[in-house]
């Protein structure tokens, strides 16, 4: 991933994040060694803050990796008095790895694991959610929005990762399906009367969108 922020700014922002547990730091080291995309501590802490501020108790992650982002959401849910964070991945090995990390972090009581296609899992969920985090394949972003909108409660929050897409969204010659989909979702969220949104330009860009009450 292309670094969009100056190194000094990135380091300063990360230094402001509260100290992470050894388990979380080990996950960060693992991600660097294997080049596995995680949201990183600055974005992770912002996700925790948002979830805590809105009192989120029911969270659904569309794409959860090996549990790094899940850990920040799970901590918020615990701090909010308990609930469920749905960790969803295609890969059973990835799910088991996440469970090892999240168990070590003490989050077994608030994390539910799914090994399946994330959007279909959200579609089939019986409950609504306080917060939905979206980090699926980028070309699927626009098609997922109606399902997200149906399953997110009024007054809930959507957080979408990779909305700067390593700077490719700035390049008018980039016609790739992924870039077009990210630009389309940006327009959908910013133009719709059902959402109030802002793009936070940390790491690779987090879109934070509030679902307006009906």
Please report the domains of the chain, with CATH numbers, ordered by start residue.
7-211 (3.40.50.150)
pLDDT score recorded for residue 56: 98
Per-residue pLDDT of the chain (214 residues; tens, 9 = 90+): 678 999 999 999 999 999 999 999 999 999 999 999 999 999 999 999 999 999 999 999 999 999 999 999 999 999 999 999 999 999 999 999 999 999 999 999 999 999 999 999 999 999 999 999 999 999 999 999 999 999 999 999 999 999 999 999 999 999 999 999 999 999 999 999 999 999 999 999 999 999 999 7
Output the pLDDT for position 143.
Answer: 97
Q: Which two tokens stand for residue 107?
A: 């989050």
Q: What angle do CA 174, 134, 24 make, to 5 degrees?
A: 110
In the prediction, which pLDDT does 214 show?
77
With vertex at residue 139, the alpha carbon angle to CA 133 and CA 141, rounded to the nearest 5 degrees, is 30
CA–CA gap between residue 155 and residue 214 (Å, rounded): 9
pLDDT (0 to 100) of residue 2:
76
Q: What is the pTM of this model?
A: 0.96
Q: What is the dihedral of CA 23, 116, 134, 211, to 10 degrees?
A: -120
Number of continuous H segments (helices) and E segments (strands) in the chain: 8, 7
């Amino acid at each position: 991933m292309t670094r969009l922020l100056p190194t000094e700014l990135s380091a300063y922002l990360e230094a402001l994040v509260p100290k992470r547990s050894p388990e979380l730091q080990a996950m960060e080291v693992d991600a660097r060694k294997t080049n596995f995309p995680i949201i990183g501590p600055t974005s992770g802490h912002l996700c925790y803050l948002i979830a805590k501020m809105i009192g989120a108790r029911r969270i659904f992650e569309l794409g959860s990796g090996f549990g790094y982002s899940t850990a920040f959401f799970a901590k918020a849910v615990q701090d909010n008095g308990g609930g469920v964070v749905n960790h969803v991945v295609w890969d059973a090995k990835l799910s088991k790895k996440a469970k090892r990390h999240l168990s070590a972090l003490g989050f077994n009581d608030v994390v539910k694991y799914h090994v399946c296609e994330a959007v279909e899992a959200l579609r089939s969920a019986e409950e609504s959610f306080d917060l939905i985090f979206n980090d699926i394949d980028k070309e699927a972003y626009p098609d997922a929005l109606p399902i997200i909108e149906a399953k997110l409660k009024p007054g809930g929050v959507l957080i979408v990762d990779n909305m700067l897409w390593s700077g490719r969204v700035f390049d008018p010659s980039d016609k790739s399906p992924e870039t077009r989909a990210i630009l389309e979702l940006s327009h959908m969220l910013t133009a719709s009367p059902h959402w109030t949104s802002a793009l936070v330009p940390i790491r690779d860009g987090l879109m934070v969108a509030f679902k307006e009450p009906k």
